[in-house]
Structure 1
Amino acid sequence: MKKIFFRKRMLFIYFLIVWVVFAHSGCLSFRMSEKKQREHLQNKGQKEIQFFTSQVEKRNIHYTQVGYDKKHVLIFVHGSPGSSSAWIDYLSDSTLSSQAILCSIDRAGYGDSDYGRSEGSLEKQAKQIKPILEKYGQDKNIVLIGHSLGGPLVARLAMDYPDFVDGLIIIAGSCSPELEPKEWFRPILDWIPIRWLMPPSFKVSNQEIMPLRKELEKMLPFWEKIKCPVHLIHGDKDTFVPVENVDFCKKMLQNAPTETTILKDKDHFIVWSSYKTIQNIILSFLK
């Protein structure tokens, strides 16, 4: 019996070590290196590729830029987890890049933005992105495109820095505090022993989703500040972020011209599965 117990314990330790190595190896990092991004974009015919890192209050925010010296700027903000490379197909799109500067951001804790170091405050995340808006300036037509948790973040940017935002596209955005699920397991995932076993991207995701309901509640008084055009896109079969978030946004966006597109039989991952539809909506903001 002792030998069997010893073998089982050693087997458990072995698989635990394998999992930890795998979890921290980058396989679940949801990010693509600058080198791989550049190679991918060049293979798609893009030539004007640059990478930048801005600093705000000892936080590094990394982003990829395609193109320069255009009137329009499209800034893509990923969900949770994710990275700038989540939008690689859009950065590769010559139809978009012929008309606009394309910029995709690594949000705090993801990609090359202090990977593994989370930031739960949407207000602070917006403040970290502000220098990127300032870089392009008020003379540009700046359109923010956010998916999932990136949805409320681009809304927060429009609330806090309206002079730098000319349009919003919120894709499957988790914007309603009432519709945020109360997930009992999230605090458990944040226990130090379990957190240590998780890939850094999953840890960051968990730590920003836990306070999300309260962060969305803080935004409630500020929705009236959004006055730029907004387009809400959602799949009616989204099981991660309920489609009813669209109704919430329409109710709150009293001072903004708002359009909606509900995609039939589509889930949460419409950024990739409904590319052409989203591309056409983006192009409508560039006219």
Structure 2
Amino acid sequence: MKKLVKSLKFWIVILLLPMVLVGCSSWIMDFDSDFVSDEFVSREQLQVGDISLSYLISGDPNGQRVIFLHGTPGDAGGNWYEMLRNVPDGYQFIAIDRPGFGHTKPRKQVVELDRQAAVLEPLLVTRNGKGTILVGHSLGGPVVTNAAANFPDKVAGIVVAAGALDPDLEEVLFIQHVGNVPPFVWLLDKTAKHSNKELIALEDELRLLQPKLAGIKQHVRIVHGTADELVPYENVPFMEKEMTGAASFKVTTIDGMNHFLQWRSRNELREAVFDITKSLEDERKTAAR
């Protein structure tokens, strides 16, 4: 131990650990926002068990409901404000602060996909015979996928945007495990700690999710960039192979696009939502004949 403490490399790791963990945990410090509400987008709270879920809402109160989930880290305002600022006619958009992030309380980490999906259930509504559409970016992708599996009668379709679904593609660096234990974890703020814990747990959570994928019966749309270095495009063929029971399954591949679809590819995400809505309307018309 004395030799370790005297080691220059040891102290370099100690001093640089917060920055290293920030890099490993997918750009931790830059994607939170302090946004509460404005004239276009309102904030509401919903008690779900012991969680006070905070979410943003905008659009037609009687329209097709679409719920957006951010990845890790992040929050509703930082990731989805522009989407909620410009809601198309006939839609109601909601973006939640996932447990552990943003204004959702208590600010306690929830790594289990089942528990994260469960907080969505009270927001899942059916209007005009059509259930709720879910859009999940990055780690939000497996959360909305899990919700589709768990609530088949309430979720009408999902858009997985740059989603991490293949457990074999998950890699946790040694430094992330170091950052998850004292005294190193004390160097990180709450957002960084929560993000790191989610990423460490994700592979195991995806293995629990994998057996459910074939049973997903809803409409599925995948949007992914070929230049995504954080969640590789190889996740897409995995989803194609596993989601064999989907009512429809379509992939939008964006050549040269990186991971940040909610800022750079909002049109493609909207089109994926519109396409699910069209499929639901076609189903409704067919059933009415």
The TM tier, using the shorter chain, reads 0.7 to 0.9
SS, match of residue 56 in structure 2: strand
Residue number in structure 1 paired with 2:201? 211
Instruction: Establish whether residue 50 from structure 1 lines up as the match of residue 42 from structure 2.
Output: yes
Cα pair 2:225 2:254 within 8 Å, conserved: yes
Q: Which moved more, 1:75-84 or 1:268-277?
A: 268-277
1:44-81: CA deviation from partner (whole Å, max 9, x where unpaired): xx3xx432222233122111111343241110000000
The counterpart of 2:139, out of the listed 130, 145, 149, is 149
Superposed displacement of residue 264, structure 1: 0.5
Q: Which moved more, 1:265-274 or 1:81-90?
A: 265-274
Unaligned 5+ residue runs, structure 2?
1-14, 20-28, 279-289
Instruction: Establish whether residue 72 from structure 1 lines up as the match of residue 74 from structure 2.
Output: no
Unaligned 5+ residue runs, structure 1?
1-14, 20-26
Cα pair 2:69 2:136 within 8 Å, conserved: yes
Instruction: Establish whether residue 63 from structure 1 lines up as the match of residue 55 from structure 2.
Output: yes
CA distance in structure 2 between the aligned counterparts of 1:99 and 1:91, rounded to whole angstroms: 13
CA distance in structure 2 between the aligned counterparts of 1:239 and 1:267, rounded to whole angstroms: 7
1:117-138: CA deviation from partner (whole Å, max 9, x where unpaired): 21110111111221221xx347
Residue number in structure 1 paired with 2:33? 31
- Relative to 1, partners in 2 of residues 1:99 and 1:68: Cα closer, same or farther, differing over 3 Å? closer
The counterpart of 2:81, out of the listed 88, 108, 127, is 88
CA distance in structure 2 between the aligned counterparts of 1:228 and 1:81, rounded to whole angstroms: 27
1:148-206: CA deviation from partner (whole Å, max 9, x where unpaired): 00000000000001111111100000001111113211111112332222121111101
Identity %: 30
The counterpart of 2:192, out of the listed 195, 198, 202, is 202
User: Normalising by the residue count of structure 2, what TM-score does the alignment of the two structures yield?
Assistant: 0.81
CA distance in structure 2 between the aligned counterparts of 1:282 and 1:178, rounded to whole angstroms: 28
Q: Which moved more, 1:235-244 or 1:106-115?
A: 106-115
Cα pair 1:71 1:141 within 8 Å, conserved: no
CA distance in structure 1 between the aligned counterparts of 2:165 and 2:277, rounded to whole angstroms: 25
SS, match of residue 269 in structure 2: helix
Superposed displacement of residue 274, structure 1: 1.7
The counterpart of 2:265, out of the listed 249, 257, 274, is 274
Give the alignment of 1:243-262 within 5 angstroms. Answer: 243-256=233-246, 257-262=248-253
SS, match of residue 222 in structure 1: helix
Instruction: Establish whether residue 180 from structure 1 lines up as the match of residue 170 from structure 2.
Output: yes
SS, match of residue 61 in structure 1: strand
Residue number in structure 2 paired with 1:24? none
Aligned Cα RMSD in Å? Answer: 2.1
SS, match of residue 242 in structure 1: coil
User: Normalising by the residue count of structure 1, what TM-score does the alignment of the two structures yield?
Assistant: 0.81
Amino acid at match of 1:246: V
Instruction: Establish whether residue 263 from structure 1 lines up as the match of residue 288 from structure 2.
Output: no
- Relative to 1, partners in 2 of residues 1:137 and 1:198: Cα closer, same or farther, differing over 3 Å? same
Cα pair 2:52 2:106 within 8 Å, conserved: no
Residue number in structure 2 paired with 1:235? 225
Cα pair 1:175 1:245 within 8 Å, conserved: yes
Superposed displacement of residue 33, structure 1: 3.0
Superposed displacement of residue 252, structure 1: 0.8
SS, match of residue 120 in structure 2: helix
Amino acid at match of 1:87: W
